[in-house]
A and B are shown apart, each in its own frame.
Chain A
Amino acid sequence: MHWCRIDPVQEVGALLATGSDARARVAACFAEKSALFHALPVGHGEDWVAIFAAPLEGERDPVLPRLAGSIPLYRVVSGWWFPVGTRLDVPDHARAAILAELLDRHDFGLPAIVIPRMGLDGRGREADIYCCGNPVPFSDSELAAPEDRA
């Protein structure tokens, strides 16, 4: 199984920040932004945070803040997120089945973010998977300042 690079024309639906300072960076970013962004669902681990796009109340189009140094993601199939500009190098009709098999084999839950480790040739056989559990609004998450939590 390979991942490969493609034109980055997919619709951004989430952002992933990684690194030991990821939580602090996301918290600082949200603190400076409109409170309207605080309703966006986030999932996080020790050294990563995922922010998922969602529409504002009463609107249809999802919104997403800018976050320096983050990886933009797109939804491949329900629950699966890949970096914009990458894809699993298999035929379309086989993709969902292969991802389901991956889920079974490695025993993790969705939503899951797959970050391929790309070689210089724009292809990769290995990937890091971030399991997001149940994303909650930023304002309800541990990332929000205690006084801002809903």
Chain B
Amino acid sequence: MSQWLAKVIDRASTVKDSLSPVRQTALATLSEQSWPTRRTEAWRYTSLHEVAELELQQPSANANAEAPVIAGLNSIDLVFVDAQPVTDIAKLTLPAGVSINALNDADSQASRVFNQAKPSHHLFGLVNDVLAQQGLVVDVAAGAQVEQPIRIVNFVTDGVESHHRVLVNVGDNAKVTVIEHGAGNGHSMNTAYAEYVLGKESKLEHYRFAMHGENAIHMGGSHFKMGESSRLNSTIVGYGSRLTRIDTDVIHAAEHAFAKMNCIYLLAPKEHFDLHTTIEHAKPNGTSEENARGIVGDKAKAVFNGRIHIHRDAQKTLAELNNRNLLLSRGGQINTKPELEIYADDVQCAHGATVAEIAEKELYYLQTRGIPRSQALVMLNFGFVQELVNQMPNKALSEWLQPLLRERFSAMETK
């Protein structure tokens, strides 16, 4: 066990709130964990030695910040700084059928969702289980058709360690859009986990923007428990940062659920990004489509592990997984691993993974038309991920993303 994890366990005993009973189970599991090494399969390509010795401050309560303006989005904004709430929930005007409570609010009924979608094998998920006292519980009533997106923004700041949790219950036949947006470049470490329980025939449009800068360490996950005939459309956009690790789980817990997940990861030089996705087809007639694309700058390292697990009963499952990577320099590194475990015999399952280099002849062609090399590189990068950006159902978000990506691509270039 690392020094840091020992302190986490010490601190966990001081956390007392309405979630304490469920936290106890997590603490027991966490206490039995050994600190991952390179021999730990889930951490094979991602070293945690920087985390093991972290000594950061706890967040201060009087934070202030504003959510970035996104033209045409018209969202309900909930802002946090180092997981500390800035927005006064009581002052929000919420659409019919939506209730939002602070995680530590005794009436929040957080335990209805807590650890319902997130499996217990994520080490930092367990850390979040025992330490996250701040966050939100969102409940969307059965049948509510919520057009206004709910946006949760969490900024991290220099020198701080923080833990944030979001729990969302989407009622039967309800429809909602939730955006998780993490940002900040401070020398920091944060965990941010979100769980979604989708009712029968409900629809969730989900976005996770993990846009942390080169000094930040970010550990997080988005986890979905799919009800019967429910539909998920999720888009994840991640920057590399000093170290970012994101785990996602989609659990087909009932029949006829449909899950689409698009992931884009963009690594500036020397950054590290690790995405582990799991799709559990536990019931028959489920569909999942997952597309992950990454662009990796010089001396940066990306890890993609895409697991599809089709259980014995999950007949008539359709599952597709594709991962494509673009290396901007020979100094970059990509470790990609599709992992299929299929125990049912009547399923369709396809997977693919590719790694390509930036094509010099394409760059040359663009340059012969007068486009400077740096701009040509940005265009080729856009070309690589544009298809997934275009598939984002919310046009205000994809418009907002374009200039950010342009900026990101410039930062990713080797000067």
A binds B: no
Query: Could you list which residues of chain A lie within 8 angstroms of chain B, going by C-beta atoms?
Result: none
